[in-house]
Structure 1
Amino acid sequence: PYFFSALDEDDPSKLDKSCTKKQLAEYVSGKYLCYNASNRWYDKSFNMIMLSDGTLGLHCEHSWGDGVALLRFCNDIDKDANEHGKMNSTNYESINASTNDCIEKLEFQFDDKLKNEFETSRKNYNDFVSKVNVNIYQGVIGKNLLKKASLSPDAMMQLAIQMAYYKLHKRFVSTYESCSTAVYRHGRTETIRPVTHETKTFIESLTKTKDEQLQKDLLKKCSEKHQQLIKEAATGQGFDRHLFALKYLQEIENREKLHPIYTDKPYQSINHTILSTSTVASKHI
């Protein structure tokens, strides 16, 4: 099959109505990301995961596609289910009975050696997952408010990430943001580089001046610059994928010595990503 459906059994306390939105979001996101590997098939295009309370999410294997394609799939499913839904309270029992006839449980036979290997793998995986932190922040400033102020919501989100990192570490680092190039046939992504002279100047101004008008002007410039970068990346004017393709051709295809640009410290630094980000917009997220 092209995708796999997983029906999870969950700890009821993790999905209880008494949980905060943040607690629910972190648990659900963790389940879709990595918390349960026992019934996931990561070699499939994606896993469609249903939690015990009916919450549906997807875990995608990234080589075949990107967030835009998967989001379109989810939006179309939601639209079709709401407009042409086949299951409701009046026909649930008959549909449930008919599906039972075509479902066959697969019984796997394991010898002791395989069972031991399975338990070792489970332990190693759980040890690894225990080191993963999933944190959800739900802000109070929405995109509509930012648009009214003529500010790009994505630009402001990226700026907030940079400000947070700078506050913690007092430095600016290589930051990656993916941009869809689906406007082209076989298009995948290009890189947006959100750290700019404009964002650096604005963030530094927060500790150097109390001139609010100046800061508003600098904020506006951050938004305009970011929108320019998005447009360039989306229309094939980015540089990351181009340079990567040339590097691949030179190093792998032609087995030539790399051009000095690829061993140049600034190039290596910008490709050592510290902050990796992505944005998809949907009413379902």
Structure 2
Amino acid sequence: ALPKLPVPPLQQTLEGYLKVVRPLVSDDEYEQTKRKVEEFGKPGGDGEMLQEKLLEYAQTKVNWVYDWWMDDMYLTARLPLVINSSPGMVFPKQIFTEPSDQLRFAARLISGIMDYKVILDARALPIDYARGQLAGQPLCMEQYYRLFSSYRVPGLTRDMLVSPDSSVMPEPEHIIVVCKNQFFVLDVIINFKRLSEADLFNQLKRIMQAATAGDRCEPVGLLTAGDRTEWAKARIKLMEDSTNRDSLDMIERCIFVLCMDEGVCCDKTDLTLACQMLHGNGSHSNTPNRWFDKTMQFIVADDGACGLVYEHSPSEGVAVVQLVEHLLNYIQKYGSKKMLRAQSICELPYPRRLRWKLSPEVFHYLKTSRESVDRSIANMDLHIMRYTRFGKSFPKSQNMSPDGFVQLALQLTYFKLHKRLVSTYESASTRRFQLGRVDNIRAASIEAHNWVRAMCSDTVEVSDYDRMELFKKALKAQRNFTLQALKGQGIDCHLLGLKEMAAMIDMPMPDIFTDEPFDLTNKFVLSTSQVPTTMDAFMCYGPVVNNGYGACYNPHDDYILFCLSSFKDCGDSHSEMFTIALRQALDDMQHLCLKVSFLLISHPSVHVQS
């Protein structure tokens, strides 16, 4: 049994919070915040009282922050899932030479996913153990078991994440296939037997033929791409009709969604592939060929583009990546084998097309959602950079953490462009604890601020040796933040818990939580995440604030793949400029490391001068 997530000591969190605030605000603002923090943390003050109540509350919960964190991070957010919340993932490009190749690949993909689901259903997935810092500790596996059993239902003020109770409802035996914006029920298990790939191929062929021959269908899937409250209202209207209730029920209970897309363009670059997986390129392209509330949506286009988009609330990227690696290995393993017709299950029933009856009110919501998602997609500024000068092997050769190296490169990049640091989010897994999800590694540290200023300084008083010493201190601070978060001692979840406890007992909100710097530290202008894969697959997502950047990176031995995003209508952010500055920052950091190493070897007793 894994331990419960601890509640960190109050003073430790308050000291850590002040360290986070310091590089983000002016001296006067910092002094004001410091006084409020000291008032909150004084003996017998609000902080001690809330801490005591939080400790009591934690005794009654498997994971004291889980529900609060889920609401704060996902379920109370009203922004559309598309771009703002749901990451896309690009698989290695496939070569399809004839129309049936898309169906063959999709059949094999379904088979590979069901192969993985058998392991999940038996609870036979090998336990993950921590790597890197705190290596060897067992990790909570619950996120894996939510991949095919969860569904996000829109609510007027708060969404719900539901998992059908298998003791009440039978396990689902169908998937939903979306083709030409039409939804079909495909049974993948019939009479307790999984369909063979040959049978899946034939059923997919039937779906393709039916979708092509069918009447023009309203793009109902676009409803899931809009504002969450508006979609909740539309869903209430849909549920008034029994035909719609049946269709929604079949989608909500399915194992996963398979989107059979139409190719977007001949030029399958990293960027065009990323856009197709992340948002589908708009209402006149593949965006209506989605149902964004379903946790797992796999995408196979007729031009060989393939990947997925997933609803983020049930799981972190690590569980999705593990599933994808299993899937791609399965496809690779059986890819060269011809699809033999296994013993067919007698005459298979035709896949059922889902029907919809749309009222004038629903048509209004559909129009609003279409306009909204098209605006969001047009406003998205996504850049993919394969940095090939070095990969994670270079920081390792310098006895540096590759993740810490990249995080500080992102800090240097932002400082080069804006001459300041901003609140930064990097997820740190808390899976060492029951139902653990993440806490935040705060890369915009005091030490990082000192280092980036030295890197951008032209004064002769600052030597490369000084820059290197400051770099090492910044890396150490980053490592300490990381370890603290991994051990369940991060500040973000704890401060959230104290704030939620104040709301729970209906006391006036303490000044520490209404202070402007508190709001500033929780607006993550840099939203970053390392999502490593062993194959040529990568993940991408949008910024989490209007003036922010999304920065997802995948470090390989000899290159680093970055997916960088911002919004075009914001004058403060610009993905192309950020990409150029990031490339220069990484070059500068390598140059600094190599120069100092060389000069220390050549002149071991002399400080290196610029």
TM range (shorter): 0.7 to 0.9
Question: What TM-score, normalized by structure 2, do the two folds share?
Answer: 0.42
| Corresponding letter in the other structure for 1:3 | F
Structure 2 gap segments, 5+ residues each: 1-253, 539-610
Percent identity of the aligned residues?
Answer: 28
1:20 aligns with none
- Structure 1 pair 54/89, CA: closer, same or farther in 2 (3 Å)? farther
2:422 aligns with 173
- The CA distance in 1 between the partners of 2:259 and 2:494, in whole Å, is 38
Q: Following TM superposition, by how much is the alpha carbon of 1:109 offset from its aligned partner in structure 2, in angstroms?
A: 5.2
Contact map agreement 2:263 2:305 (CA 8 A) in 1: no
Structure 1 gap segments, 5+ residues each: 16-23
Contact map agreement 1:45 1:61 (CA 8 A) in 2: yes
2:393 aligns with 144
The structure that has the greater radius of gyration is 2
- Structure 1 pair 51/220, CA: closer, same or farther in 2 (3 Å)? farther
**What is the RMSD computed on CA atoms of the aligned residues?**
2.6
| Counterpart selection for 2:338 from 69, 81, 90 | 90
Deviates more, 1:177-186 or 1:210-219: 210-219
Deviations 1:208-255 (A, max 9, x none): 45522222222222222212211111110101001102211221x222
1:268 aligns with 519
| Counterpart selection for 1:155 from 396, 399, 404 | 404
3-state SS, counterpart of residue 435 of structure 2:
coil
| Counterpart selection for 1:31 from 276, 285, 291 | 276
2:482 aligns with 230
Contact map agreement 2:423 2:524 (CA 8 A) in 1: yes
Q: Decide which structure has greater helix share.
A: 1
- The CA distance in 2 between the partners of 1:37 and 1:100, in whole Å, is 34
1:283 aligns with 534
Q: Following TM superposition, by how much is the alpha carbon of 1:200 offset from its aligned partner in structure 2, in angstroms?
A: 1.0
3-state SS, counterpart of residue 258 of structure 1:
coil
Deviations 1:52-100 (A, max 9, x none): 34343221212111112211221222334445x3x644226x37x9899
- Structure 1 pair 100/38, CA: closer, same or farther in 2 (3 Å)? farther
| Corresponding letter in the other structure for 2:320 | L
Q: How does 1:32-51 map to 2 (within 5 A)?
A: 32-34=277-279, 35=281, 36-51=286-301
2:464 aligns with 212
2:435 aligns with 186
Q: Following TM superposition, by how much is the alpha carbon of 1:280 offset from its aligned partner in structure 2, in angstroms?
A: 1.6
Contact map agreement 1:2 1:45 (CA 8 A) in 2: no
- Structure 1 pair 100/118, CA: closer, same or farther in 2 (3 Å)? farther
Q: Following TM superposition, by how much is the alpha carbon of 1:106 offset from its aligned partner in structure 2, in angstroms?
A: 1.0
Query: Which of the pair has the greater relative contact order for Cα pairs under 8 Å at 6+ separation?
Result: 2
3-state SS, counterpart of residue 136 of structure 1:
strand
Deviations 1:150-207 (A, max 9, x none): 1211112111211221121111111111111112220000011001122111111121
Deviations 1:241-279 (A, max 9, x none): 01102211221x222211222122332221122111111
Provide runs of 4+ in structure 1 moved above 6 Å: 97-100
3-state SS, counterpart of residue 527 of structure 2:
strand
3-state SS, counterpart of residue 5 of structure 1:
strand
| Corresponding letter in the other structure for 2:417 | L
Confirm whether residue 7 of structure 1 aligns to residue 260 of structure 2: yes
Q: Following TM superposition, by how much is the alpha carbon of 1:48 offset from its aligned partner in structure 2, in angstroms?
A: 1.3
Q: How does 1:78-157 map to 2 (within 5 A)?
A: 78-83=328-333, 85=334, 88-91=336-339, 94=341, 101=348, 104-106=351-353, 108=355, 113=360, 118-140=366-388, 141-157=390-406
| Corresponding letter in the other structure for 1:153 | P
3-state SS, counterpart of residue 467 of structure 2:
helix
Confirm whether residue 74 of structure 1 aligns to residue 324 of structure 2: yes
Q: Following TM superposition, by how much is the alpha carbon of 1:101 offset from its aligned partner in structure 2, in angstroms?
A: 4.2
- The CA distance in 2 between the partners of 1:120 and 1:190, in whole Å, is 35
